[in-house]
């Protein structure tokens, strides 16, 4: 076999016995789309709802992340994971502090006036 030529016995292997029928709407659609039928509004539908809430800063962040190499992107993700971990550690520390100071327990009391200090010291 040289230069794209097929040997005699191999041509039979390449032949297809399948017959195409013009009755198939999938293979032969009724309406053919040509360049003259091009409608740019048909190809660009309205933007999705979530895109309406995207700000210029969001787009700048997306573009910044899109320009990163995979290694740089992984480094950025690791940094965000470390930041989230540190935030969780700080939150746990503050919650523990609040428990020790007893500021998180008990019902909220509404004071209608200044406290009566004299009744407590008798």
Domain boundaries, the chain: 56-103
Where residue 78 falls among pLDDT bands split at 50, 70, 90?
A: very high
What confidence score (pLDDT) does residue 71 get?
96
What confidence score (pLDDT) does residue 73 get?
95
The rounded Cα 104 to chain-centroid distance in angstroms is 36
pLDDT at 35 over 60: no
- Rounded Cα distance, 53 and 101, in Å: 41
Q: Transcribe 52-114 into DSSP letters.
A: HT--HHHHHHHHHHHTS-HHHHHHHHHHHHHHHHHHHHHHHHHHHHHHHHT-SSSPPPPP-SS
Arithmetic mean of pLDDT, 3-32: 65
Does pTM surpass 0.85? no
pLDDT at 80 over 90: yes
pLDDT at 63 over 90: yes
């Amino acid at each position: 076999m040289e230069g794209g030529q097929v040997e005699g016995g191999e041509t039979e292997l390449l032949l297809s016995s399948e017959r195409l029928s013009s009755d198939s709407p999938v293979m032969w659609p009724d309406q053919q789309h040509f360049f003259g039928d091009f409608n740019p509004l048909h190809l660009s539908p309205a933007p999705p709802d979530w895109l309406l809430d995207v700000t210029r800063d969001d787009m700048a962040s997306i573009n910044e992340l899109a320009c990163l190499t995979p290694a740089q992107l992984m480094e950025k993700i690791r940094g965000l994971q470390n930041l989230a971990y540190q935030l969780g550690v700080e939150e746990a520390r503050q919650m523990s502090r609040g428990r020790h100071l007893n500021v998180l327990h008990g019902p909220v009391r509404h004071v209608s006036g200044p406290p009566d200090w004299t009744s407590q010291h008798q």
